[in-house]
Structure 1
Amino acid sequence: MSATEVQAPRVRGFAIFTIIFGAIGLFAAFELATEYIKKLQQPDYIPNCELSVLVTCGPNMDSPEGSLFGFSNTILGLMAFVAPIAVGVALLAGARFAAWFWWLYRAGLALGTVFVFWLFTQSVFTLGTLCPWCMVVWTVMLPLFFFTAFRPEAVGYVEASPGVKKAFAAVNSWAWVLVLVSYLFIAAVAQFQLNWLAEFSR
């Protein structure tokens, strides 16, 4: 059995994961975009994500933070989440990307992750809300980044020295821990600031 055949199941698993999480993120961004458009058309429209004073997306969409670059952040989501879906489909089809592509793709995921943490702080500390669809985006963005950040060198998508490959493989094996710690951090900060457990226990 060749090395390519051995690696194939691992490539398929990563590709399917990337497609699924990208599709979930795209769906959440699409829901936010459609709710935003409906609210523009009907100022008194109640978004489908408005569950309570705390759990709502209305204030987020109406705020300056919701249009950081002069247009709705939802447009960024609609564009950005196409990338992981395309990468996953290409990997399933047997594509091999150049090293520069993996660096560019990971840079995009890193920027998206930084943006997610910034949006989280603005939502919790400035707006005092938890936006359901936004939280879906946060939930998929973090694993998309952490499970991709060190993988190309770790599994041989990108050529690297044995030492670098070993180091990246070691960090990559802890990707799920980094995701879990990020989730726990977000949940703890939101609880400390907003006491969301009391809201959900009603």
Structure 2
Amino acid sequence: MPKEACDTQGVSETATEIEAPPRHLALAILLIVGGALGLLASFSLMKDDLALLADPGTKLGCTVSAAIQCGKNIGSWQGSVFGFPNPMLGLMMFTAPVIVGVAMLGRVRFPNWFWLVFNAGHWFAIIFIGWLSTESIFFIGTLCPWCSLVYAVVIPMWLAVTLHNMAAGRYGTRLIGAGSALITWVPLLSLALYVVIALEAQLRLDLISQLFG
């Protein structure tokens, strides 16, 4: 093979390697699984909401005890804070992580502005579920099982996307080191936030006696 052809082939392969973005497999899988579980929880809550509209006396499958149920949450004003049932918001928003995760597996390159907008959606989600969990535990007096699944998937997705953006320098070069160091701690950080919610629920609602009493 002529030397020029070899050089051209080498440059072409190098260019392809440079242009192909990294797959970020763990983040892609987290977004796909988290988005799918969020859709499942939102669909189940929406189905229960419609069942209660049809028959307010319906026994919902998510009812475990007086303190572990979805019915009171669905019927509260907090359950329709934007004027429509909260699960409708979940059905719209949880589609995005699934699509982004699948695209990442295909090595689609998203511009920086897209990642920042995507992250803004996660910031909205984490603030919203933080408020909802507080309202549920301390004011409604319940821990909603399907809502808890939403909390469980939003927390690691928010952490992972935020730290991914920090590590990529999208929030400035000063945060690259912190993002790179903390992104491996997403499972432990998520667990810590799960424990905080569980402790709040236990102290306020005495869940252990509700489950095993």
The reply on whether 1:190 has 2:201 as its aligned counterpart is: yes
**TM-score, L = length of structure 1:** 0.90
| Range with greater deviation from structure 2 (16-25 or 166-175) | 166-175
Aligned residue number for residue 84 of structure 1: 97
Task: Decide whether aligned partners of structure 1 residues 91 and 164 sit closer, same or farther in structure 2, where only a CA change above 3 A counts.
Answer: same
Task: Provide the secondary structure at the position in 2 that maps to 1:174.
Answer: helix
Contact 1:97 1:157 in 2 (8 A): no
Question: Over residues 56-95 of structure 1, what are the superposed CA-to-partner deviations in whole Å (9 max), with x where a residue is unaligned?
Answer: 1101000001000111101111111001001101111211
Pick one of 120, 123, 126 that aligns with 2:136: 123
Q: Which residue of 1 aligns with 2:165?
A: 152
Residue in structure 2 matched with residue 54 of structure 1 by the alignment: 67
Look up the match of 2:118: 105
TM-score by length of 2: 0.86
Contact 1:147 1:176 in 2 (8 A): no
**Are 1:200 and 2:211 an aligned pair?**
yes
Percentage of identical aligned residues: 36
- Distance (Å, rounded) in 1 between the aligned partners of 2:158 and 2:75: 28
Measured in 2, the distance between the counterparts of 1:42 and 1:23 equals 28
Gaps of 5+ in 1: none
Q: Displacement, 1:130?
A: 1.1
Instruction: State the 1:190 CA deviation.
Output: 0.8
Decide whether the 8 Å contact of 2:21 with 2:109 is kept in 1: no
Greater mean deviation of Cα atoms: 167-176 or 121-130: 167-176
1:111-156 per-position Cα deviation (integer Å, ceiling 9, x unaligned)? 10111111111111111111111111111110110111111342x4
Counterpart-to-counterpart distance in 2, 1:68 and 1:145: 22
For residues 159 and 3 of structure 1, do their structure 2 counterparts lie closer, same or farther at Cα, with a shift above 3 Å needed? Answer: farther
Shift of 1:173: 2.7
Distance 1:83 1:157 in 2: 22
Structure 2: segments with no counterpart, 5+ residues? 1-13
Which position in structure 1 is the counterpart of 2:37?
Answer: 24
User: Are residues 4 and 187 of structure 1, via their aligned partners in 2, closer, same or farther at CA, if it must alter by over 3 Å?
Assistant: farther
Q: In 2, are the aligned partners of 1:96 and 1:157 still within 8 Å (CA)?
A: no
- The superposition leaves residues 150-178 of structure 1 with CA deviations (integer Å, 9 ceiling, x where unpaired) of 11342x485964x5422221222332232
Q: How many residues align?
A: 198
Which of residues 158, 168, 178 is equivalent to 2:189? 178
RMSD after superposition: 2.1
Larger Rg: 2
User: Is the contact made by 2:21 and 2:107 (CA closer than 8 Å) also made in structure 1?
Assistant: no
